Amino acid sequence: MPPTRSESPNLVALAGGVGAARFLRGLEPGPHAERLTTIVNTGDDRVFYGVHVSPDIDIVSYTLSGRVDTSRGYGLEGDSFRVIEQLGMLGHEIWFRLGDLDFAHCQHRTLRLAGGAGLATVTREIASALGVRSRILPMSEDPCPTVVELSGGRRIHFEEYLVRDGAPDEVIGVDLSAAQAATPGPGVLDAIAVADVILISPSNPVVSIAPILAVPGIRDAVLASDAPVVAISPIVGGAPVKGPADRLLRGLGHEVSARGVAALYRDLVDGYILDERDAALEADIAALGLRTHVMDTIMRDTTTSQRLAQAALELAAEGA
């Protein structure tokens, strides 16, 4: 029987990289894929080795196609690194690891952009070549580099902060001014306008979700929507599952906890899923006016991702 509208609502997810991709793979296999639009952070995009790399779009596309290298956590399974190894031999800095097949996708993106195609079109081409069923949209087609400000006045691109420098502790700010001056990507505002459910993935709130919401029009579109908005805490047991969310939250003066992230999202979200390790914070989060659900939120495999995605949809349905 074909899914009815109530069984398959229009879903919109805001997404960063790995955490979001793991969450979204819980929606990709079922009937939801046809109705899922993921709006992805492009604040991490940067040119490496002459090609346009979109780290979050790529990790989401690779994960949803089932092709991601799960042991490395990025890139494509079975990929080799001959091109960048050779570039390294020729004296180039190769701190940003890019596999050969990954390189081909980024080369395709670069050539198509140079030929006048938009980032949304190129994203669709790569996702469709990989067999992704749902729709992946860049938050913007404009350059939106996220700049991390360190004590002493140093300002560096987010990828330099994360990958080259190993996410040092001395963050004092995050500059989203490029995103704040950007235009939403094609389809982004329309997708939010017709959404029945909006999901904020378990992603870094400061450098993945905040840049998306910083693009003029996106936050307002979410606020204007009648759809229930549900977020999943990326902080589990008082720490990120991976990545530097703790250093970035702390550096910006936010509490590193499920409650701290809930406070950041309180104007936007109706529902919030927190991990069972943080159950003691549930009452405080409910006091912010959010409907809560407590469960194991660690996504070890597709089954646990599906369980989390299902819980998010159920919590959303309670608020519809």
Q: Which residues bind ligand GDP (CB under 6 A)?
A: 16-20, 22, 56, 202-204, 208, 232-234, 236, 240-243, 245, 275, 297-299
Beta carbons of 214 and 179 less than 8 angstroms apart: yes
Indicate the residue among 117 and 252 with the shorter CB distance to ligand GDP. Answer: 252
Q: Least distance to ligand GDP from the beta carbon of 291, Å?
A: 17
Q: Least distance to ligand GDP from the beta carbon of 111, Å?
A: 25
Q: Least distance to ligand GDP from the beta carbon of 226, Å?
A: 27
Q: 100-114 vs 55-64: helix axis angle to the nearest 10?
A: 120
Strands 147-150 and 51-53: unpaired
Indicate the residue among 87 and 236 with the shorter CB distance to ligand GDP. Answer: 236
Beta carbons of 279 and 294 less than 8 angstroms apart: yes
Indicate the residue among 9 and 19 with the shorter CB distance to ligand GDP. Answer: 19
Q: Least distance to ligand GDP from the beta carbon of 298, Å?
A: 5
Neighbours of 119 (CB within 10 A): 24
Q: Give the per-residue SS3 of 197-256.
A: EEEECCCCHHHHHHHHHHCCCHHHHHHHCCCCEEEECCEECCEECCCCHHHHHHHCCCCC
Indicate the residue among 9 and 240 with the shorter CB distance to ligand GDP. Answer: 240
Indicate the residue among 59 and 126 with the shorter CB distance to ligand GDP. Answer: 59
Distance CA 286, CA 252 (A): 24
Q: Least distance to ligand GDP from the beta carbon of 98, Å?
A: 15
